[in-house]
Amino acid sequence: MHPSASFSATLRVHLDNQPGSFARLASAIGEAGGLLGAIDLVRVERGMKVRDVTVLADDETHIERIVEAVRALDGIDVEQVSDRTFLLHLGGKLEVVPKAPLKTRDDLSMAYTPGVARVCRAIADEPDKVWNLTVKQNSVAVVTDGTAVLGLGDIGPEAALPVMEGKAILFKEFGGIDAWPLCLATTDPDEIVRTVAAVAPVFGGINLEDISAPRCFEVEARLREQLDIPVFHDDQHGTAIVVLAALLNALRVVGKRLEDVRIVVTGAGAAGAATSRMLLSAGAGEVVCCDRKGILHPGRDGLDPFKASLAEETNPGGRAGAADEALAGADVYIGLSSPGAVSVDGVRSMAEKAIVFAMANPTSEVAPEEIENFVAVVGTGRSDYPNQINNVLVFPGVFRGALDARAKAITREMELAAAHALAGVIEPEHLEADYVIPSVFDRRAAPAVAEAVARAAAMRSPRRAPVPARACESAVATASS
Q: Which of 49, 99, 103, 112 is catalytic?
A: 112
* Alpha-carbon span 329 to 351, nearest angstrom: 4
- Three-state DSSP at 253 gives helix
Residue 35 has phi, psi (to 5 degrees) of: -120, 125
* Alpha-carbon span 228 to 249, nearest angstrom: 34
Query: In 3D, which of 93, 427, 52 has the Cα closest to residue 252?
Result: 427
User: Are the C-beta atoms of 240 and 274 separated by less than 8 Å?
Assistant: yes
| 3-class SS letters over 137-185 | HHEEEEEECCCCECCCECCCHHHHHHHHHHHHHHHHHHHCCEEEEEECC
Q: Which of 99, 129, 136, 167 is catalytic?
A: 167
- Give bridge partners of residue 380 from the DSSP assignment: 358, 388
Evaluate the omega torsion of the peptide bond into residue 316 and state whether it is cis, within 30 degrees of 0.
Answer: no
Residue 337 has phi, psi (to 5 degrees) of: -135, -110
User: Are the C-beta atoms of 265 and 286 separated by less than 8 Å?
Assistant: no
* Alpha-carbon span 214 to 211, nearest angstrom: 9
Q: Is there a catalytic annotation at residue 112?
A: yes
CB atoms within 10 A of CB 341: 22
* Alpha-carbon span 154 to 149, nearest angstrom: 7
Please report, as a single letter, which amino acid is at residue 283: G
Please report, as a single letter, which amino acid is at residue 160: A
Query: In 3D, which of 402, 382, 393 has the Cα closest to residue 444?
Result: 393
Q: DSSP secondary structure string, 430-473?
A: G-BTTBSS--TT-TTHHHHHHHHHHHHHHHHSTTSPPPPHHHHH
User: CA 452 → CA 85, 99, 250, 351, 424, distances in Å?
Assistant: 36, 29, 21, 34, 11
User: Are the C-beta atoms of 408 and 456 separated by less than 8 Å?
Assistant: no
- Give bridge partners of residue 92 from the DSSP assignment: none
* Alpha-carbon span 172 to 150, nearest angstrom: 21
* Alpha-carbon span 264 to 283, nearest angstrom: 15
Catalytic residues: 112, 167
